[in-house]
Structures are given as structure tokens and as C-alpha cells.
């Protein structure tokens, strides 16, 4: 609304259908698929989600902002998808410095 765009124009800019955008706006679908998040965040010009309070939360927010699934991020980092999930959940029992460094490098990426 701030940009004076029609719903159709906003949907086109994000790369979704008008009905998908309408579902998000009305709350019918509350969580867009992770693959749409980069375009949504770019469209908005900022990330409206709350700042994560944990290391795992920061990993998850970064993965989602990149539009990646656990599987695709794991492949990119050379890890198993379950490793990404455990770190995101802050459920690592013995955090290895090498693994933490991999995720810290990810978080530093622009």
C-alpha cells in the first residue's frame, strides 16, 4: 500500500500469484514457503521477523532468508540435513568448534 501498487503488481514483483498474496494478507496461509522469503524480504526492504535470541535461531533465520531448505543448506555446507536441524533447534549436546565455525561463516555472509 505504501508503494501504491495493486495486489497484482505486488504479486508479480514477489513472483507469486495474486491468490497466494491474498492468502498471506488475509492470514489464510500464515507462513509463506521458505523459497518465497528472499523475494518477500527484498520486496519489503527489511526483515519484519523478530530478531532471533539464540545461535540456532540465527541459523534458521539466515537459512530462511536465503530461501533454502534444511537439505539444500546442508548440501551447500557439506553437512547432513540433521546436523543443520539440530543446530537450528539449539539441541547440540557437544558443540564442535569446527561445526560452529561453519555456521558462523554462514551467518557472516551477505
CATH of the domain at 70: 1.10.260.40
pLDDT number for residue 72? 97
pLDDT band at 30 (very low <50, low <70, confident <90, very high): confident
Residue 51 burial (CB count, 10 A): 8
Identify the domain containing residue 30 by its residue range. Answer: 7-44
CB 76, CB 67: distance < 8 Å: no
Domain-embedded: residue 32: yes
Domain-embedded: residue 78: yes
CB 35, CB 67: distance < 8 Å: yes
Structural domains counted in the chain: 2
Q: Is the pLDDT of residue 1 over 70?
A: no
pLDDT in tens, 65-81: 999 999 999 999 999 99
Domain-embedded: residue 20: yes
Same domain, 60 and 94: yes
Q: Is the pLDDT of residue 90 over 80?
A: yes
CB 39, CB 65: distance < 8 Å: no
Residue 96 burial (CB count, 10 A): 9
Same domain, 102 and 79: yes
Same domain, 27 and 67: no
Mean pLDDT of 7-11: 88
Task: Note the pTM of the prediction, 2 decimals.
Answer: 0.81
Buried/exposed code over 39-48 (b: 16+ C-beta within 10 A; e: otherwise) = ebbeeeeeee
Domain-embedded: residue 49: no
Same domain, 61 and 95: yes
Mean pLDDT of 34-41: 91
Amino acid at each position: 500500500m505504501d508503494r501504491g501498487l495493486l495486489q497484482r503488481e505486488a504479486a508479480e514483483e514477489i513472483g507469486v500469484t495474486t491468490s497466494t498474496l491474498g492468502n498471506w494478507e488475509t492470514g489464510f496461509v500464515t507462513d509463506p514457503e521458505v523459497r518465497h522469503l528472499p523475494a518477500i524480504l527484498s520486496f519489503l526492504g527489511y526483515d519484519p521477523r523478530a530478531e532471533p535470541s539464540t545461535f540456532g535461531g540465527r541459523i534458521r533465520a539466515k537459512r530462511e532468508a536465503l530461501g533454502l531448505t534444511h537439505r539444500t543448506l546442508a548440501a551447500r555446507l557439506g553437512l547432513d540435513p540433521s546436523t543443520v536441524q539440530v543446530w537450528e533447534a539449539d539441541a547440540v549436546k557437544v558443540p564442535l568448534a569446527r561445526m560452529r565455525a561453519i555456521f558462523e561463516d554462514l551467518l557472516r555472509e551477505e
